[in-house]
Amino acid sequence: MLIIDRATRDAIVEHARRDHPDEACGVVAGPAGSDRPARHVPMLNAAMSPTFYEFDSADLLRLYREMDDHDEEPVVIYHSHTATEAYPSRTDISLAQEPGAHYVLVSTRDGAHQSGPVDFRSFRIVDGEVSEEEVTVVERYPDDSVDDVSPTQKAAD
């Protein structure tokens, strides 16, 4: 299950909307071993394509060095689909190289790039096998504050 704070989820959706009609892509880094998305890093789609995304290799190298320096790892790797459902394509599956990451897809099709609900889904992709997982959005993580933790809610919007 992916547990993600609302601000990060909203930032991913905003990035997908902003880059539409091209696919958006990015990473959410988190403390190594925590499985906790903490730092949103929107990336440039070097392919600048509505049907394909590609991280700029120099930007990606810088990001991985930065994550190493801060004892972080990619917890979420995300991109958008602009005309299809939020489900990994064959290309997405073949490019998935982080078995511990949550692969989030956001669909901005059918006007979702302007407003309204988007299809926001998360998958684990290991050795070419795709399994969808539940997404729970929290206002903040339980250990961020001992008081006033908002109840979780399913990421259907």
Provide the residue ranges of all domains of the chain, joining segments of one domain with +: 2-154
Alpha helices in the chain (DSSP H): 6-19, 57-69, 90-95
Residue 155 has pLDDT above 70, yes or no: no
Looking at 28-37, 80-89, 106-115, which range is the least confident one?
A: 106-115
Q: How far apart are the first and last CA of the chain?
A: 17
Residue 115 pLDDT grade (very low, low, confident, very high; cuts 50, 70, 90): confident
Whether this model's pTM surpasses 0.85:
yes
pLDDT tens sequence across 92-111 = 999 999 999 999 999 999 88
Q: How confident is the model at residue 148, as a pLDDT?
A: 39
Q: How confident is the model at residue 152, as a pLDDT?
A: 36
What sign does the CA torsion over 9, 102, 31, 4 have?
Answer: positive
**Mean pLDDT, the chain, as a whole number?**
91
Architecture of the domain delimited by 2-154: 3-Layer(aba) Sandwich (3.40)
